[in-house]
Amino acid sequence: MRHTIIALLTSLLALSACTGGGSSTSPTSATPDDDADVVAWMDKVCGAVGGTVKAMSDEPNIDMNDPSKLKTGLSDWLGTKVAAVDKSIADLKALENGPHPKSKELVTAAEEGMGQIKTLLADTKSKLDSSTDATQVVTAFTEMITKAPSLETTGADVQKKFDETGLAPAAQKAANCKELQASTSPTPTS
């Protein structure tokens, strides 16, 4: 169960901002003079998201044999994830006025995706914190797992923004975006 939610949320986070996907050409892409600035800015955008991806990569410290430790472990874990998403959102907010004409459009889409992830995590934490027994704890965590796939649409919407804004080529050149893609991609089969 733990691996499922961690893998799903990590993949969604990466999809939500910087997988470097999309087409390599677009009528709205930056001019060559602006390319270095756009790549540097995109690197910061991916870096902002990368903090949350890294935070999501660990597993909750839970003890299935002790209901109070189960609740505390999951609640603490979710609390650190919510804090990481908050930091990413704040970092993204600071990048809204990037060097590309569509910078704010892409960053806003990423912020909205992160906001949806934060809501899922925070709602689950709230349910855990108000739970009175282990069954309620497991139910709250299970609900989070069943709701997480609905975030795939958010990731797809942000991915679409790369194509629409012409920022996919910059993401493909930015080191933090490449790192994000490598950390979330399955092992190549070729």
What pLDDT is attached to residue 122? Answer: 95
Q: What is the DSSP string of 67-91?
A: HHHHHHHHHHHHHHHHHHHHHHHHH
**Inter-residue contact 22 to 156 (CB < 8 Å):** no
The tens digit of pLDDT for each residue in 26-39 reads: 444 444 446 899 99
What pLDDT is attached to residue 63? Answer: 75
What pLDDT is attached to residue 6? Answer: 52
Q: What is the DSSP string of 86-103?
A: HHHHHHHHTTSS-SSTTH
**Token digits of residue 74:** 């999951």
What structural domains and CATH numbers belong to the chain?
2-7+35-183 (1.20.120)
Q: If we measure between CA atoms, which residue out of 169, 158, 13 comes closest to residue 88?
A: 13
- CB contact burial 147-168 (16+ within 10 A = b; e otherwise): ebeebeebbeebbebbebbbbb
Residues of the chain predicted below pLDDT 50: 1-4, 15-17, 19-33, 187-190
- Residue 161 and residue 177: Cα distance in Å, rounded? 15
